[in-house]
Copies of this chain bind each other. A is one copy, B any other.
Amino acid sequence: MRRETTTAGGVKTPTAVGAARKDQILQIAAELFSRRGYHATSMRDLAEGAGLLPGSLYAHFTGKEEILYQIVLDAARQFLGGMEALRAQRASPEEKFRRAMRAHVAVVAHDLEGARVFLHEWKALGGSRLTEIRDLRRRYEELWDEIIRHVAPSDSKLARLLALSAANWTYVWYDPNGPLGPEEIADRFSDLLLDGLRTSVKGKVSVERRVRS
């Protein structure tokens, strides 16, 4: 069990220091989980990566699954945060669609390891943690559905699956050192999805994107 700062205050409380260490371990864990997978990564691997002994990890986490949980939950909140923020905005359906795609790819680009773990290893969770993440995933899909419904009213279900497929699969191939930045990827995907592969000849059709309404 983690406890609050015992002192009345201070510039750098022990809790804050501990949180920094915790984040460092989480970052290492995210990288290893995303590369080798959750079950293929041992606590000894994590300890070695963090520069301490296996048992010492339990000063920061109750167990291995909690490490996975915190990575997955953090990524889920990043994805959901972008979409929730979109709800309050006033913009055309297409513009919302474009912003949603941008937000999604932005999370993938900004936290690639976390996104990969979230989309690839979340099934390794169990019990209430699994159902909680499952609910967050469902919520995220519903928010996408709300947007797609206004863009493609006739075939919204498959249209949503198509858009989400494109967005979700980016975590597989996205390369931070590649020639394409997140915004370019998102915008071109939006163009291709909205206008179709056939009409992509004209280059950039509807790039009259103004982020401010």
The chain A residues found within 8 Å of chain B, CB to CB, are 37, 39-40, 94, 120, 123-124, 148, 151-155, 158-159, 161-166, 168-170, 172-173, 180, 185, 188-189, 192-203
The complex is assembled from copies of this chain, and their number is 2
A-side binding surface: helix, strand, loop or mixed? helix
Q: Are A198 and B155 in contact (CB under 8 A)?
A: no
Cross-chain pairs A/B with CB under 8 angstroms, 25 sampled: A37-B123, A37-B124, A39-B39, A39-B40, A148-B197, A152-B192, A152-B197, A152-B200, A152-B201, A153-B201, A154-B201, A155-B200, A158-B180, A158-B185, A159-B192, A159-B197, A161-B169, A161-B173, A162-B189, A162-B197, A165-B166, A192-B196, A193-B197, A194-B197, A196-B199
With contacts A196-B195, A201-B154, A203-B154 taken as known, whether A40 is within 8 angstroms of B124 at the C-beta atoms is: yes
- In the assembled complex, the Cα of A194 lies from the Cα of B197 at a distance in Å of 5
